[in-house]
Structure 1
Amino acid sequence: MPTEIEVVSVVDAAATTVFDLELDVDVHAGSLPGSRETATTTSGRRRLALGDEVTFQARHLGRRWRMTSRITVYDRPRLFVDEQTRGPFRAMRHEHRFEPVGPTRTRMTDRMTIQAPLGPIGAVVTRLLLAPYLRRLLTERAAHIKHLAEGETRDP
């Protein structure tokens, strides 16, 4: 059974700024320094586009994880979606929405749908451990994006 996690943030920056920061793999990796995350793209570009794949390696929950995702939807600056092609989940879809709420404010919504392996046991582990953990990671990443985006808007 899939589990959905949603985190909504309001950023004092234009949607294009926030969108571009979210697609930058170096920004992504830098958002959780304690995980020692690295990112390798199939295109060699650091900012992802439609069809690009990225493989992240990071330490979470005391273990090293590896996951590859592909950008399957790309509608700049409103929406992009990445979906796991290889990794720890049975399925993972991460929708990133950017809605202007003024000329220089953006509502950023991260909606992640995951399905763990191992049937009923995986569902229980997801509900009790993975979903709260992933919600915290998404919240930290959103705060990092907010900090960078708002700093960029204030710089000359």
Structure 2
Amino acid sequence: MISIQSEITIDRPIRCCFDAARDLDLHTRTVWKHTHEKVISSPGGIDGQLIGYGEMVTFEATHFLVRQQLTSKVVAFEPPYMFTDQMQQGAFHRMTHIHEFEVLGPSSTRLRDTLYFEAPYGWVGRLAKRFILQSYMKNFLEYRNKQLKKMLES
């Protein structure tokens, strides 16, 4: 299993960062534009939902020229410090994403993402994850976090 970690400091209070990270509408606006990511199913419908414990969301996006869906469920939830979502259905064999938030000051928060994943397709998937997926997923997380920081701090 591959583990990727990304950290960023955001000059906003922890609760603001925690809520922004679980805002489904904001998520689709902070990922790479070329993926055309959208929410196709969520607990409160598709409009502006803050996902919470036990809730599931299905995203649709294009990665590696393939349109695909990924359904995740929030399996751990400790506001405003942490939540974890786990893939229920999707292209990966297994995937878990831990979002952690740490107070650095009255209006400064460290956001740490840890992503664990296992690629499908046996030995072909193992090669892909080592040489392609690992850097692709790290770049995806880092881009999203930079966009989130930009939106929250503006």
Q: Which TM class, normalised by the smaller chain length?
A: over 0.9
Q: How many residues align?
A: 150
> Once structures 1 and 2 are overlaid, which stretch shifts more, 114-123 or 47-56?
114-123
Whether 2:97 is the aligned partner of 1:108: answer no
Q: Distance in 2 between matches of 1:51 and 1:136?
A: 28
State the AA in 2 paired with 1:95: I
1:42 deviation in Å?
3.1
1:34 deviation in Å?
2.1
Superposed CA deviations along residues 37-85 of structure 1, whole A, max 9, x for unmatched, are 1112033261101011000001111111110000011111100000000
1:123 deviation in Å?
1.3
Q: Distance in 2 between matches of 1:130 and 1:108?
A: 22
1:79–1:98 contact (8 Å) kept in structure 2: yes
Partner of 1:7: 6
1:43–1:53 contact (8 Å) kept in structure 2: no
1:117 deviation in Å?
1.2
State the AA in 2 paired with 1:87: G
1:31 deviation in Å?
1.1
Q: Distance in 1 between matches of 2:146 and 2:137?
A: 14
Aligned-residue sequence identity (percent) comes to 29
> Once structures 1 and 2 are overlaid, which stretch shifts more, 37-46 or 115-124?
37-46
Unaligned runs of 5+ in 1: 152-156
> Once structures 1 and 2 are overlaid, which stretch shifts more, 5-14 or 33-42?
33-42
Equivalences for residues 30-49 of structure 1 within 5 A: 30-32=29-31, 33-39=33-39, 40-44=41-45, 46-49=49-52
SS at match of 1:57: strand
Superposed CA deviations along residues 129-151 of structure 1, whole A, max 9, x for unmatched, are 11111111101110111112212
Partner of 2:28: 29
Partner of 1:154: none
> Once structures 1 and 2 are overlaid, which stretch shifts more, 91-100 or 38-47?
38-47
Unaligned runs of 5+ in 2: none
